[in-house]
A and B are shown apart, each in its own frame.
Chain A
Amino acid sequence: RKEVEQDPGPFNVPEGATVAFNCTYSNSASQSFFWYRQDCRKEPKLLMSVYSSGNEDGRFTAQLNRASQYISLLIRDSKLSDSATYLCVVNSGTGNLIFGKGTKLSVKP
């Protein structure tokens, strides 16, 4: 099983749609979880951390299910500017982060 797995997409959605991405991780001892965003030909940037109780930042909601080793990201009211690749990130057991390959989102007018 890969350390961090994501559906590569692409997810093609119309403006205003709600879209959800999922991610599974293999290390049950992981304690840190993030979603990063990467625009085409740019560097990854932190979108939000993921907390055990779930957390929201505007139109974005992240949730963690430790029992199932599953992380999700929900985007409401999608904007054209949300088009990007979303990377699920989990800490390894050796003091660094493991990045998923990303899920590509394309929001159409």
Chain B
Amino acid sequence: DAGVIQSPRHEVTEMGQEVTLRCKPISGHDYLFWYRQTMMRGLELLIYFNNNVPIDDSGMPEDRFSAKMPNASFSTLKIQPSEPRDSAVYFCASSPYGGTYEQYFGPGTRLTVT
């Protein structure tokens, strides 16, 4: 079975550019999570969806970040405009049962903003 799919795997962009990260969750999983990982702060939850509806976006750093889930098989995380401090690995994860059960992570997108 295919796991969580993320694209691109690596993204290098210049400050001020728009960045869009994509995620396809495991089929049948009703919960989708976006995380950001840095050495300083570890793995932080940005936002999560249940049945395509955003449930908790309190982790989204600021208005430059937005996330959508137009259908059960696709989600995007957009940063506009990007800044060097946004450089991190962004993971998407999905779960069949909810936020407090096992989550399956995608391979991540390594973002570098110069």
Closest chain B residue to A94 by CB distance? B56
Number of chain A residues whose Cβ lies closer than 8 Å to a Cβ of chain B: 20
Among B91, B101, B102, which residue has its beta carbon within 8 angstroms of that of A43? B91
How many whole Å from A43's CB to the nearest CB in chain B?
4
Query: With a CB–CB cut-off of 8 A, which chain A residues contact B91?
Result: 43-44
- Is there a chain A Cβ closer than 8 Å to B45's Cβ? yes
Interface size on B, residues (CB 8 A): 20
Across-interface contacts of A42 in B (CB, < 8 A): 107
Say yes or no: A32-B101 contact (C-beta < 8 A), given A95-B56, A96-B48.
Answer: yes
- Is A61 located at the chain interface by the 8 A CB criterion? no
Give A43 to B105 CA distance when docked, in angstroms. Answer: 6
Are A97 and B99 interface neighbours, CB within 8 A?
yes
Q: Least Cβ distance of B78 to chain A in Å?
A: 21
In the bound complex, do residue A95 and residue B98 qualify as a contact, i.e. CB atoms below 8 Å apart? yes
Tell me, in angstroms, the Cα distance from A91 to B101 when the chains sit together: 9
A98 to B99, CA, bound (A): 10
The answer for the CA separation of A49 and B55 in the assembled complex, in Å, is: 25
Please state if A95 and B55 are interface contacts (CB–CB under 8 Å).
yes
Given contacts A96-B33, A101-B42, whether A46 and B56 have CB atoms under 8 Å apart is no
Contacts of B101 in A (CB 8 A): 32
Are the C-beta atoms of B99 and A91 separated by less than 8 Å? yes
* A32 proximity list for chain B (CB < 8 A): 100-101
26 A-B residue pairs with Cβ-Cβ distance under 8 Å, sorted by A, are A31-B100, A32-B101, A34-B102, A42-B107, A43-B91, A43-B106, A43-B108, A44-B43, A44-B91, A44-B105, A45-B105, A91-B99, A91-B100, A94-B56, A94-B58, A95-B56, A95-B100, A96-B45, A96-B56, A96-B99, A97-B45, A97-B99, A97-B103, A99-B35, A101-B42, A102-B42
Chain B residues with a Cβ under 8 A of chain A = 33, 35, 42-43, 45, 48, 55-56, 58, 91, 98-103, 105-108
